[in-house]
């Protein structure tokens, strides 16, 4: 497993593992590094925390370290039963207005030139173009060359198994298409978001959360803290892109 980069910055603190195994992620932490430090496999940390994507742990997240949690429970530590996590904060369409593009996008004509693809495929699948744009900006910054350590590819960071599902089940193709091509990737991202919106009965926050965490995981486990930040981030970017 490759090192997992922490994707956010939090205020520096002397966070440590507590008696119940809770560890507050600090800038620079990785799943592999924590596994080595506490003598547990990276897969065990991923499973214990129901991580939808092991590439994304954020400074400020609280992770369960299984071996430490087990020592705490054997020493008689008890925890009150946890209730269901609260729902995701709603995400509403932004009011009409001029888009406020990120400086990095304005400085890159090639990436800015992808907007017609977003507009076209969003229209085909009946989803707001700005929502597709915002998800793609959170995922890759509209960079077709980005590949994650789990194999997620391109502008919408499409996982190989998701590529197969979208192409064969949603688009009716006989085989997956190349997600490295911007037109293909944006088409798949828009189709997938449209499907997630149908599955969540139009709940935009849950559709965005499912894009990040996985629909089954989101329904079964509830939203992760990182999912909440992801959804809020997409909503903020949508307010800037404004389209649709």
Q: Which DSSP symbol is given to 183?
A: H
Digitized pLDDT (tens) for each residue of the chain, 244 residues in all? 333 333 332 333 333 444 344 677 776 677 777 777 777 777 788 888 777 666 677 767 778 887 655 555 444 444 555 577 899 999 999 998 899 999 999 999 999 999 999 999 999 999 999 999 999 999 999 999 999 888 999 999 999 999 999 999 999 999 999 999 999 999 999 999 999 999 999 999 999 999 999 999 999 999 999 999 999 999 999 999 987 6
Q: What is the CATH number of domain 103-241?
A: 1.10.530.10
**pLDDT at res. 183:** 98
Burial tier of 122 (Cβ tally within 10 Å: 0-12, 13-18, 19+):
buried
User: What does the alpha-carbon distance between residue 135 and residue 157 come to, in Å, rounded to a whole number?
Assistant: 10
Q: Which residues are tagged catalytic?
A: 139
Range list of H helices, the chain: 31-38, 42-48, 66-74, 103-106, 109-112, 115-125, 129-140, 160-165, 182-199, 204-213, 215-221, 225-241
Quick one: which of 229, 198, 238 has its CA closest to 215?
198
**pLDDT at res. 61:** 76
Query: Domain ranges in the chain?
Result: 1-83, 103-241
**pLDDT at res. 28:** 67
The CATH homologous superfamily for domain 1-83 is LysM domain (3.10.350.10)
Quick one: which of 130, 13, 5 has its CA closest to 55?
5
3-state secondary structure of 138: helix
**pLDDT at res. 17:** 42
């Amino acid at each position: 497993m490759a090192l997992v980069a922490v994707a956010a910055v939090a205020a520096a603190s002397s966070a440590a593992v507590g008696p119940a195994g809770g560890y507050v992620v600090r800038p620079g932490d990785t799943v592999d590094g924590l596994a080595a430090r506490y003598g547990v496999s990276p897969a065990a940390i991923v499973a214990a925390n129901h991580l939808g994507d092991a590439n994304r742990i954020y400074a400020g997240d609280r992770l369960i370290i299984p071996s430490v949690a087990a020592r705490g429970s054997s020493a008689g530590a008890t925890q009150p039963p946890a209730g269901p996590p609260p729902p995701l904060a709603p995400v509403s369409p932004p009011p009409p207005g001029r888009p406020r593009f990120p400086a990095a996008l304005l400085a890159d004509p090639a990436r800015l030139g992808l907007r017609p693809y977003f507009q076209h495929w969003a229209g085909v699948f009946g989803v707001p173009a700005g929502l597709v744009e915002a998800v793609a900006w959170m995922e890759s910054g509209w960079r077709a060359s980005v590949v994650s350590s789990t194999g997620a590819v391109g502008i919408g960071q499409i996982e190989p198994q998701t590529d197969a599902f979208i192409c064969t089940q949603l688009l009716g193709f006989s085989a997956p298409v190349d997600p490295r091509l911007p037109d293909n990737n944006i088409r798949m991202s828009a189709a997938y978001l449209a499907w997630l919106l149908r599955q969540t009965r139009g709940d935009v926050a849950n559709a965005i959360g499912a894009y990040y965490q996985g629909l089954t995981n989101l329904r079964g486990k509830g939203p992760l803290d990182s999912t909440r930040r992801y959804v809020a981030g997409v909503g903020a970017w949508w307010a800037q892109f404004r389209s649709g």
